[in-house]
Chain A
Amino acid sequence: MLNIIDLSVRDVLQGLNLAVKPKELVLVVGANGSGKTTLFNTILGAVKPTKGKIVVNGKDVTNIPQYKRVYWISSVLQDPRSGSIGKMTILENMSLAYMRRGYKRISNKIVNYFKEKLSILEMGLEYRLSERVENLSGGQRQALSLTMSIADDCNLLLLDEITSALDPKSSAMVMKITDKIVKYENKTCLLITHDIKHINSFNGRIFEMKNGKLVATS
């Protein structure tokens, strides 16, 4: 599903290798400054690698620009405010996420599809489609971002410290939703975090970033 081959970014990432299988959940942990976010941004296309290859679903995406790479990779960022647009409604945000693979028209059928996806959150957001996102709490916004990341058929999900800007309660809720999404939506997921407490409740492979390389810990 995701193959990272000999990836280097200046002196931050050094010949990094990683293979993630379809429907697998992989956790990357590491201290601040270890290069986790650089890895995330490089896979996403925001940072250009100095060496190496990134292959998603058999397609070499290394030289594909970020806005085109979203065809294969969807992502959720650290800050809940940067993962959605507060001044737009929930429906408009979901539509934007859905259109990333080139779909143009949002029909009633698609709106119902959005409602179905939002109902996974069990927050009642499916009844608040015309409400502006700025009215939602940080946890709700991050949960919405997660749902937006599965709004289309994109199979690889990149999550970068998605709970770091949230309080413990919201953080637990968002992690529960992430588990649910990976389990029921059959997504391949790469979760990057510095929060060690995720490790205990995690069922999957765990890697640690050390000196710009990934070391398997379990």
Chain B
Amino acid sequence: MIISPQELLTCFEIGIIFGSVAVGVYLTFRTINFADLTCDGSFVLGAAVSAVLIKNGVDPYLSLFCSVLLGGVAGLLTGILNVKFGITDLLSGIIVAFMLYSVNLRVMGNSPNITFVSSENTFLITFPLALCLICLLSSGFGLKLRAIGYNKQFALTVGTNVELMTIIGLMLSNAMISLGGGLFSQYQGFCDVSQGVGALVTGLASVVIGEKVLPFKKEPFIVLSCIAGSILYRVFINIALHSDLLAIRTQDFNLITGVIIILIMIKRKKALYA
């Protein structure tokens, strides 16, 4: 058997957790067309906040709420740097992610990692939040949010406050990514200051896979594609890492991720020219 039922279950669980990261990445890279690199920092911020609060006896769901709020603040900061101070989207995200490393260490009490015990299965919270997001994107507000990603000039001519919408999009995105961090730390019972490295690439891979396997015509439903893509991504990685034939080991994880993204992107481009 390529993958055992237990491994498949784990793929589902971690896939759902990283589904919220994928949704966050989708909101910036696709919906508002903003190359936001805050992700790697806001993911750890969510994980750190959740870990510290649970360790201090706070309810896991309340800790997730705090993670979401602070993730939103990280997005707000990136947005202000870009919109109000004219720093490019890439650079504003990099600066905030860079600063968040110190903030995260502070949150974790200057310790690079924290272990704790959490018995709640909080990861399923991704689904109701995804449904809320679908409703939001289907509304008039969502229509305006999507409009700025496609055509900022047009968005202005239909009365959209592009600056405000960009900031709101970044806040929503980083709140979802931070939620993913919180859920992941609760799932593992562990938080490390460097666990955010690669979160963005994982999210992007999930978005690309999701759009390929579940190409919903109605755009708001692509939120569900992102979660499905995240689960599939975990399954692919699991299969690849357990394939004796290819002699792939755990240290090849990033290589495999990159290859999967490249293969899907190549197929995408071919489909565009077909």
Contacts and interface: CB of A to CB of B under 8 A. Distances in A.
Chain A partners chain B: yes
B169 to A, nearest CB: 16
A71 B147 contact: no
Contact of A97 (B150, B156, B158, B162): B158
A68 B161 CA distance: 8
Contacts of B140: 95, 99, 103-106
Contacts of A46: 156
B143 A71 contact: no
Contact of A71 (B156, B159, B162): B159
Contacts, number: 57
B150 A70 contact: no
A5 interface: no
Interface residues of B, number: 16
Contacts of A67: 156, 159-162
Contact of B159 (A77, A88, A100, A104): A100
B161 A92 contact: no
Contact of B158 (A44, A96, A105, A106): A96
Contacts of A104: 140
A46 B155 CA distance: 13
B146 interface: yes
A85 interface: yes
Nearest to A86: B150
Contacts of B116: none
A87 B147 CA distance: 10
A103 B144 CA distance: 12
Contact of B147 (A83, A85, A102): A85
A66 interface: yes
A88 B146 contact: yes
B159 A82 contact: no
B173 to A, nearest CB: 19
A190 to B, nearest CB: 15
A100 B143 contact: no
27 contacts: A46-B156, A66-B156, A67-B160, A70-B156, A70-B159, A71-B159, A82-B153, A82-B154, A85-B147, A85-B151, A86-B150, A87-B150, A88-B143, A88-B146, A88-B150, A92-B143, A95-B140, A95-B143, A96-B144, A97-B158, A99-B140, A99-B143, A99-B144, A100-B158, A101-B159, A103-B140, A104-B140
